[in-house]
Structure 1
Amino acid sequence: MPFTIKSPVEHELIIKKSRFLACVMPMNDRANAQQIVASLKAAHPGAAHVCWALLAGGQSAAVDDGEPSGTAGRPMLDVLRHQELEGVLATVVRYFGGVKLGAGGLVRAYTDSVAQALLQAEKIPLLKLRTLRCTVPYSLEGHIRRALAGYTTTGLAVEHGSQVIFSFAITADTAETLIAQLNESCHGQLGWLNT
Structure 2
Amino acid sequence: MMFTLIRTERFEQDIKKSRFLAQAAPAGSEEEARRFIAASSMPDAGHNCWALRVGDVYRFSDDGEPGGTAGRPILQAIEGQGMDRVAVVVSRWFGGILLGAGGLVRAYGGTAASCLKAAEREPIVAYATLSVACGFAEEARIRSSLGSFPGTRVETTGFTADGVRLLVTLPQDRSDAFVRLVTDISRGQAVVERGGE
TM-score normalized by structure 1? 0.88
User: Cα deviation per residue 1:83-140 (whole Å; 9 max; x = unaligned)?
Assistant: 2222222211222233322212211111121111122123333332211111223333
Q: Tell me how far 1:160 sits from its aligned partner.
A: 4.4
1:69 aligned to 67, 82, 86, which one? 67
CA distance in 2 between counterparts of 1:94 and 1:157 reads: 51
Q: After the TM superposition, list the runs of 4 or more consecutive aligned residues in structure 1 that deviate by more than 6 angstroms.
A: none
Counterpart Cα distance in 2 of 1:89 and 1:156: 33
1:7-18 aligned at under 5 Å gives the runs 7-18=7-18
TM alignment of 1:82-161, pairs within 5 A: 82-161=80-159
Q: 1:46 to 1:103 in 2, by over 3 A?
A: same
Deviation (angstroms), 1:182: 0.8
Please provide the CA RMSD for this pair: 2.0
8 Å contact kept, 1:62–1:77: yes
Identity of aligned residues (%): 35
1:78 shift after superposition: 1.0
* 1:52 shift after superposition: 1.0
- Once the 2 structures are TM-superposed, how far is the Cα of residue 147 of structure 1 from its aligned partner? 1.3
- Residue type at the aligned position of 2:185: S
1:78 alignment counterpart? 76
How has the CA–CA distance of structure 1 residues 189 and 142 changed in structure 2, closer, same or farther, with 3 Å as cutoff? Answer: same
Secondary structure (helix, strand or coil) at the match of 1:79 reads helix
Give 1:36's aligned residue.
Answer: 36
- Deviation digits for residues 123-171 of structure 1 (CA, Å, limit 9, x no counterpart): 3333322111112233333212111121023443223434432223222
- Change in Cα spacing, 1:67 to 1:155, as seen in structure 2 (3 Å) is farther
Kept in 2, the 8 Å contact 1:153–1:168? The answer is: no
The answer to whether the 8 Å contact 2:9/2:115 transfers is: yes
Aligned to 1:54: 52
Partner Cα separation in structure 2 for residue 83 and residue 17 of structure 1: 27
Residue 2 of structure 1 pairs with residue 2 of structure 2: yes
One-letter amino acid matched to 1:76: I
Distance 1:85 1:166 in 2: 34
Moved more, 118-127 or 140-149: 118-127
TM-score (norm 2): 0.87
User: Alpha carbons of 1:193 and 1:84: their partners in 2 closer, same or farther (altered >3 Å)?
Assistant: same
Q: How many residue pairs align between the two structures?
A: 193
Distance in 2, matches of 1:172 and 1:34, equals: 29
Would you say the 8 A contact 1:53–1:91 is kept in 2?
yes
